[in-house]
């Protein structure tokens, strides 16, 4: 499949942006409609928590994968998807927390605090949420200019958020934990692909293949 010139946006890149900005909000509208129409299971709160949490993790992993994919393929336009995917991941993570705190617990913070103290999956999920919110808040260009180099260090915490979210998923499930382990392995692999020696090796291999 021809993706277009390296570094250029091209029609395929534009279609990917359309797919992200249409597909993700559409999936949220479908979920809202199912809640309003009562089309979920007998436990709608758990359904919403699971779906928003899983979607947040999927979007976060896709966001983390953009730069490694651009490195491996040489198609730099993929990098432009990092920010929207990361913002949507933060949105779904926030909805995931709201379903838990507002819908399930009715914002009874004393009960939320007790649950937080007694459940380790909440203890790792909350820092992941805080990181994603911090990354979303500092993603606009004015914030990037003001923060300078600090912005890069802060946004590297996205990998920590991915690992914490995978661990949150792992401790939250009761039976089959292979899927959260797979998420964790993918995040580790993506992190390894960002290490400078690995980056140089991949670039050299890509150049040899291109030649």
Torsions phi, psi for 2 (to 5 deg): -85, 125
Instruction: In whole angstroms, give the CA distance from residue 30 to residue 44.
Output: 14
pLDDT of residue 123: 95
How distant, in Å, are the alpha carbons of 47, 97, 100, 177 from that of 43? 6, 17, 13, 21
Q: pLDDT digits over 79-106, tens only?
A: 899 999 999 999 999 999 999 999 999 9
Euclidean distance between CA atoms 158 and 112, whole angstroms: 25
pLDDT digits (tens, 9 = 90+) for 60-86: 999 999 999 988 888 888 889 999 999
How distant is the alpha carbon of residue 66 from its chain centre?
11
**Confidence at residue 4, expressed as pLDDT on a 0 to 100 scale:** 36
Q: Which residues of the chain have pLDDT under 70?
A: 1-10, 211
pLDDT computed for residue 150 by the predictor:
87
pLDDT (0 to 100) of residue 151 = 86
Give the containing element (helix H, strand E) for 118.
helix 109-118
pLDDT of res. 52: 97
Main-chain dihedrals φ then ψ at residue 28, nearest 5 degrees: -70, -40
Determine the pLDDT at residue 7. Answer: 43
Contacts (Cβ under 8 Å, ≥6 apart) of 161: 60, 127, 128, 131, 132, 135
> What local confidence, expressed as pLDDT, does residue 101 receive?
96
In the prediction, which pLDDT does 211 show?
66
């Amino acid at each position: 499949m021809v993706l277009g010139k390296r570094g250029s946006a091209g029609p395929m890149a534009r279609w990917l942006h359309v797919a992200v900005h249409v597909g993700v909000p559409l999936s949220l509208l479908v979920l809202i409609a199912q809640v309003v129409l009562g089309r979920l299971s007998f436990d709608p709160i758990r359904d919403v928590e699971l779906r928003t949490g899983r979607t947040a993790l999927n979007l976060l992993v896709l966001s983390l994968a953009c730069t490694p994919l651009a490195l491996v393929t040489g198609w730099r336009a993929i990098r432009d998807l990092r920010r929207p995917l990361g913002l949507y991941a933060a949105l779904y993570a926030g909805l995931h927390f709201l379903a838990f705190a507002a819908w399930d617990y009715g914002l009874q913070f004393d009960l939320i605090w007790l649950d937080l103290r007694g459940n380790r999956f909440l203890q790792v999920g909350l820092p992941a949420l805080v990181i994603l919110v911090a990354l979303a808040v500092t993603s606009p260009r004015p914030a990037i200019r003001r923060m300078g180099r600090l912005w890069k260090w802060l946004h590297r915490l996205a990998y920590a958020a991915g690992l914490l979210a995978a661990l949150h998923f792992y401790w939250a499930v009761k039976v089959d934990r292979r899927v959260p382990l797979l998420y964790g392995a993918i995040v580790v692999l993506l992190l390894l692909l960002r290490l400078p020696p690995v980056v140089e090796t991949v670039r050299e291999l890509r150049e040899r293949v291109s030649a």
